[in-house]
Amino acid sequence: MAYKITEECVACGSCAATCPVGAIAEGSPIYVISEEACVECGACASVCPVSAIVAP
């Protein structure tokens, strides 16, 4: 299971810039994480300023 971005996302892009495998893309209206590409490293969750990313 991949990390998930919740509706609390403010679309700042911090998570996408931090993801080492490029699994996060800008969506509408919030960013989305590709379940296939996510390696569950947690880097995105650690940089999210509003704690909008939850562990699998």
For every one of its 56 residues, what pLDDT tens digit does the chain have, with 9 covering 90 and above?
Answer: 899 999 999 999 999 999 999 999 999 999 999 999 999 999 999 999 999 999 98
- Please name the residue ranges forming H helices in the chain: 14-18, 43-47
| Structure confidence at residue 12 (pLDDT) | 98
| Structure confidence at residue 32 (pLDDT) | 98
| Structure confidence at residue 39 (pLDDT) | 98
Question: How far apart are the C-alpha atoms of 10 and 52, rounded to whole Å?
Answer: 8
CB 9 within 8 A of CB 50: yes
CB 49 within 8 A of CB 20: no
pTM for the full predicted model: 0.92
| Structure confidence at residue 52 (pLDDT) | 98
4-54 is classed in which CATH architecture? 2-Layer Sandwich (3.30)
Looking up tokens 């880097």 gives: 43
